[in-house]
Amino acid sequence: MNKGLLSVDEALEVLLAGARAVAEIEEVPTLEATGRVLARAQVSTMDVPPMDNSAMDGYALRSADVKAPDARLKVAQRIQAGSTGAALAPGSAARIFTGAPIPQGADAIVMQEFCAVDGEYVIVKKVPQPGEWVRLRGSDVRAGGEVLAAGARLRPQDTGLAASVGIAKLPVRRKLRLGLFFTGDELVMPGDPLPPGRIYNSNRFTLNGLARTFDCEVRDLGIVPDNLEATRAALRRAGAECDVIVTSGGVSVGEADFVKPAVEAEGSLLMWKIAMKPGRPLAFGRVGHAEKAAAFIGLPGNPVSSFVTFLVFVRPFLLRTQGIAEVAPRALSARADFDWLEPDARREFLRVKWNAQGGLDLYPTQDSAVLTSTSWADGFVDNPPNRAIRKGDTVRFLSYADFYG
């Protein structure tokens, strides 16, 4: 299996079978928990809202006291959010504001727009329904109910929900430590002059940014020259500090490709040719030994290939290692507004962009060295092997937004 051409799904299955979730759990203040992966489900100990309260600024009253429009009720009290009122005497009303507790005896709120003040009285111009504009205790969350499931990345609204039930700290998985390095004697960092024959190390920016998007603690070792000793040394350094190591370049079988022998010398490795375009070679292995070994994924050096293979393989691997249950990106059915008449025999990830008509346009060059295509696009058409696409066809669209979410 290691030698032949593997499908994306076969490779993903082997990869994910080797992903072990980071075991350590830490408590963090709820305010700092956005982006972290929740380690244990959270159950509310309280009702939310904790008391019946007003959904409007207006008057709290007994609906039975207003049988017809223009009823006149004495305003006996004023209840603001954060205070509590007294029981409401029959035939009276309470001036009330949004979020203020409903006084005992009241069963409806009339919006202030339907009331007129007359000295100590209020004229109620509209007959209220029982329960109108009252938010009932527990109508959002009930005590004993689960508010957040384990194994998902916390979004801002999730931390808000935890806070609404009084949870001040949340148990999350330790951040995943991801080591990165970039092989290639041709690579130069932006800011340095570019000698003849050299190129800038764009993958460092793409992969580093992706790793941060997935909330990793990144150890970026930068450029590693094309020789065995330097590659082994970088692997040992990254392996000692990290849970996962991701590299770009040097995984072909050319004479200047040292990733394979280096990983074999420092651990163990599977080399795959994957039936996908872009991004054919992929390496998967371990660096170091037994318990302390780090997972290793070697991506191709081509900028588009490394970007696509990161999203297709590294992303789900990182998510699993972070303890996230659901790792498949959501796919949408979308309309192709282009022809793609010479499909490849490999599964293709075509760079496409939404147009104003709600269809997808294709970037004119699908060459795996043209990084502009990834920056222009909104996502990929995930095209099965040998499938020609004609204008108007329904295609499987993978949005960047769904990968990053």
Measure CA 339 to chain center.
32
Binding residues for Mg ion, total number by CB under 5 A = 4
Residue nearest to Mg ion (CB): 249
Q: Which is nearer to ligand AMP, 128 or 303 (CB)?
A: 303
The minimum distance between CB 304 and ligand AMP, in angstroms, equals 9
Is the separation of the CB atoms in 334 and 389 below 8 Å? no
Q: Of residues 85, 101, 179, 184, which one binds Mg ion by CB under 5 A?
A: 184
What are the residues binding ligand AMP (CB under 6 A)?
182, 184, 186-187, 199, 201-204, 248-252, 300-303
The minimum distance between CB 401 and ligand AMP, in angstroms, equals 25
Measured CA to CA, the distance from residue 177 to residue 192 in angstroms comes to 28
List the helix and strand counts (H, then E) for the chain.
Answer: 9, 27
Q: Return the one option of Mg ion, ligand AMP, none that residue 202 interacts with (CB less than 5 to 8 A, by type).
A: ligand AMP
String of DSSP letters for 241-300:
H-SEEEEES--SSSTT--HHHHHHHHEEEEEEEESEES--EEEEEEES-GGGPEEEEEEP
Is the separation of the CB atoms in 286 and 266 below 8 Å? no
**Helices 259-266 and 228-241, packing angle to 10 deg:** 50
Q: Which is nearer to Mg ion, 58 or 249 (CB)?
A: 249
Q: Return the one option of Mg ion, ligand AMP, none that residue 247 interacts with (CB less than 5 to 8 A, by type).
A: none
The minimum distance between CB 185 and Mg ion, in angstroms, equals 8
The minimum distance between CB 147 and Mg ion, in angstroms, equals 49
Q: Which two structure tokens, joined as six digits, stand for 182?
A: 């970039």
Q: Return the one option of Mg ion, ligand AMP, none that residue 345 interacts with (CB less than 5 to 8 A, by type).
A: none
The minimum distance between CB 158 and ligand AMP, in angstroms, equals 35
Q: Return the one option of ligand AMP, Mg ion, none that residue 302 interacts with (CB less than 5 to 8 A, by type).
A: ligand AMP
Angle at 32 between CA 30 and CA 33, to 5 degrees: 65
Decide: helix, strand or coil at residue 126: coil
Neighbours of 224 (CB within 10 A): 26
The minimum distance between CB 230 and Mg ion, in angstroms, equals 13
The minimum distance between CB 21 and ligand AMP, in angstroms, equals 29
Is the separation of the CB atoms in 245 and 238 below 8 Å? yes
Q: Which is nearer to ligand AMP, 80 or 252 (CB)?
A: 252
Q: Return the one option of ligand AMP, Mg ion, none that residue 399 interacts with (CB less than 5 to 8 A, by type).
A: none
Helix (H) or strand (E) holding 95, with range, is strand 92-96
Residue nearest to ligand AMP (CB): 301
Measured CA to CA, the distance from residue 267 to residue 262 in angstroms comes to 8
61 contacts: CB under 8 Å, gap ≥ 6: 73, 88, 92, 93, 94, 106, 108, 109, 110, 124, 128
Q: Which is nearer to ligand AMP, 332 or 369 (CB)?
A: 369
Q: Return the one option of ligand AMP, Mg ion, none that residue 303 interacts with (CB less than 5 to 8 A, by type).
A: ligand AMP
Q: Which is nearer to Mg ion, 257 or 348 (CB)?
A: 257
Q: Of residues 249, 285, 323, 329, which one binds Mg ion by CB under 5 A?
A: 249
Q: Return the one option of ligand AMP, Mg ion, none that residue 7 interacts with (CB less than 5 to 8 A, by type).
A: none
Q: Give the residue among 308, 306, 349, 314 at the shortest CA–CA distance from 187.
A: 306
List of residues contacting Mg ion (CB under 5 A): 184, 249-250, 301
